[in-house]
């Protein structure tokens, strides 16, 4: 069975953490850089121009999160690459948006819905199958004792994960009619900063106040206080979705304001399907049952568990479940499966 490489960084400064990260994950970061170089060049964009554009994000980020810019510079040094290379990997969402590939199904269940009165968050990350070879598990320990464990493309700050203060995030691609080219806070930097928060209110403030030019969805879970809220984050504001009967799910469309969804006519079924499966075991949900739900193939090829469809359209030809993760706050661990969970195996990783 495939397993993702595991990278742990623990150093007294952000730059030194970045160097550790870059040195340990160098081979995978180079793969990520090469993957996006080929992608952008296939669109007719020169790598030089792509790098220049990505590097311009640094001034905006440095004004808000200078520690993370320092860490990105360390990653570049450790991996033997240019700072601009690392910025492209971290800004690829904003710079490309990959509008033809729906990404991800996320969810959270609170105490009343579960068998042992625990809180869990979970996500299937659906993306192009080409990224599978450069995904890593990233475990970060900061100088002030914050511990973060999650999944990411090598070289990125992080995608999804949880921390030792009981906070987790699961994210989805969204595309609204308000999205535009420009410079807003790249989601990889924002996600990482959220996971450096010690309470729900500070994390929510970051989500609500960050400048944005493209849309994104963030499901924030508080495992210590059994709370969750979903944020449909777009350039004109933030929609907030609350759990229903202790269950909250989301996929790749606007639920609160469907009229601003930029991709009309797209199937909108994965979040509803996941909620139905979870409600069927209300009060008796376990991590093992969540894992079974994440293997579901109803509505294939646009199902919760996804596989490439060679004869499919732009949505499905390359789309697959790259990873699946279930966070168990009570035991401070995550169960992570590399590739589609129906054919893979969940491995336990402790925070």
Interval 22-65: pLDDT, tens: 999 999 999 999 999 999 999 899 999 999 999 999 999 999 99
Query: Domain for residue 154, yes or no?
Result: yes
Averaged confidence pLDDT in the chain: 94
Tell me, yes or no, whether 87 lies in a domain.
Answer: no
Task: Give the span between the Cα atoms of 211 and 59, in whole angstroms.
Answer: 13
Judge whether 19 lies within some domain.
no
SS3 287: helix
Mean pLDDT of 248-260: 94
Asked if 231 and 172 touch (Cβ cutoff 8 Å), the reply is: no
Structural domain includes residue 81? no
In what order do the strands lie in the sheet containing 120-128? 247-250, 105-109, 120-128, 319-328, 333-338, 347-350
CA nearest to 128, candidates 95, 93, 94: 93
Q: Is residue 48 part of a domain?
A: no
- Domain contains 239: yes
Residue 200 domain flag: yes
Least confident range of 107-116, 120-129, 301-310, 328-337: 301-310
The answer to whether position 3 is within a domain reads no
Per residue in 175-226, pLDDT (tens digit) is 999 998 878 999 999 999 999 999 999 999 999 999 889 999 999 999 999 9
Domains in the chain: how many in total? 1
Report strand pairing: 147-153 vs 333-338.
unpaired
Residues of the domain holding 300: 100-350
The confidence score (pLDDT) of residue 180 equals 86
Q: Does residue 102 register a pLDDT over 80?
A: no
Per-residue pLDDT, averaged over 134-144, amounts to 97
Report the CATH number at residue 335.
3.60.60.10
Q: Which pLDDT tens digit goes with each residue over 65-82?
A: 999 999 999 999 999 999
User: What's the pLDDT at 98?
Assistant: 44
Question: How far apart are the C-alpha atoms of 163 and 167, rounded to whole Å?
Answer: 6
């Amino acid at each position: 069975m495939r397993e993702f490489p595991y990278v742990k960084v623990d150093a007294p400064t952000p730059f030194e953490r970045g160097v550790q990260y870059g040195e340990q994950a160098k081979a995978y970061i180079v793969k990520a850089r090469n993957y996006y170089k080929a992608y952008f060049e296939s669109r007719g964009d020169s790598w030089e121009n792509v790098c220049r554009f990505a590097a311009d994000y640094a001034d905006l980020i440095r004004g808000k999160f200078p520690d993370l810019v320092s860490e990105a510079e360390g990653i570049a040094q450790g991996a033997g690459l240019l700072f601009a290379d690392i910025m492209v990997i971290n800004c690829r969402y904003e710079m490309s948006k990959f509008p033809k590939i729906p990404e991800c199904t996320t969810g959270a269940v609170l105490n009343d819905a579960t068998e042992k009165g625990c809180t869990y968050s979970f996500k299937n990350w659906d993306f192009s199958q080409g990224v599978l070879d450069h995904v890593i598990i990233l475990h970060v320990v900061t100088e002030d004792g914050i511990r973060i464990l999650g999944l990411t493309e090598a070289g990125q700050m992080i995608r999804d994960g949880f921390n030792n203060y009981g906070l987790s995030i699961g994210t989805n691609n969204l595309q609204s009619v308000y999205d535009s080219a420009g410079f807003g806070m790249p989601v990889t930097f924002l996600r990482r900063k959220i996971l450096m928060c010690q309470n729900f209110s500070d994390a929510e403030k970051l989500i609500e106040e960050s400048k944005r030019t493209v849309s994104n969805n963030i499901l924030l879970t508080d495992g210590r206080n059994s709370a969750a809220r979903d944020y449909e984050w777009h350039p004109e504001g933030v929609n907030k979705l609350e759990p229903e009967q202790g269950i909250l799910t989301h996929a790749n469309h606007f639920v609160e304001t469907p009229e601003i969804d930029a991709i009309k006519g797209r199937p909108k079924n994965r979040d509803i399907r996941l909620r139905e499966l979870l409600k069927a075991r209300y009060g008796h949900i376990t991590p093992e049952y969540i894992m079974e739900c994440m293997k579901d193939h109803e509505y294939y090829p646009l199902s919760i568990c996804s596989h490439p469809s060679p004869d499919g359209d732009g949505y499905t030809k390359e789309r697959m479940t790259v990873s699946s993760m279930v966070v168990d706050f009570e035991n401070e661990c995550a169960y992570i499966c590399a590739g589609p969970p129906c054919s893979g195996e969940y491995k336990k990783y402790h925070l």
